[in-house]
Amino acid sequence: MAVAREPSILVVDDDPEMRALLLDVLRNEGYEVAEAKDGTEAVVALRARRFDVILMDKNMPGPSGLDLLPGFRRVCPGSQIIMMTAFGDVASYMEAAEKGAVEYLFKPFRMEEMKAAIAKALGRDVEAGT
């Protein structure tokens, strides 16, 4: 709403290939993207600046995405958090929803799905996908 800048996204995932893929795709979409390989790096990144969207894996060594979620919500209430996890993990999904995640992606998900989720989180229409 304020300045006309590209929305920023923080990708938090312990898998370098996954991070690389997401970074490629999201940058291609024109987003400003930063990455973190675990909770600690994510906290450092969040202290440095704010992100519109945090795309975070649930399963990570150290504090899990679910553990980090409430803290992130508190530290940067303006960030929309999208969780990723292995599919079928319904319990995590519910917990994440309660803890304030706006979207949930079950791996493996289609890039289109992810783009749609981000667009939704940013309050944009799904037209971003096409």
Does residue 17 touch other proteins according to CB under 8 A?
Answer: yes
- Does 21 bind other proteins (CB under 8 A)? Our answer is yes
Tokens of 81: 């958090």
Q: Which residues, 52 to 71, sit near other proteins by CB under 8 A?
A: 59, 62-64, 67, 70-71
Does 50 bind other proteins (CB under 8 A)? Our answer is no
Candidate residues 28, 44, 97, 125; the one interacting with other proteins per rule CB under 8 A: 28
- Which own/partner pairs from 82-85 qualify as long-range (CB within 8 Å, at least 24 positions apart)? 82/53, 82/54, 82/55, 82/56, 82/117, 82/118, 82/121, 83/56, 83/57, 83/58, 84/13, 84/55, 84/56, 84/57, 84/58, 84/109, 85/57, 85/58, 85/59
**Among residues 27, 47, 110, 124, the one that binds other proteins under rule CB under 8 A:** 110
Contacting positions for other proteins (CB under 8 A): 13, 15, 17-18, 21-22, 24-25, 28, 59, 62-64, 67, 70-75, 85-92, 95, 98-99, 106-112
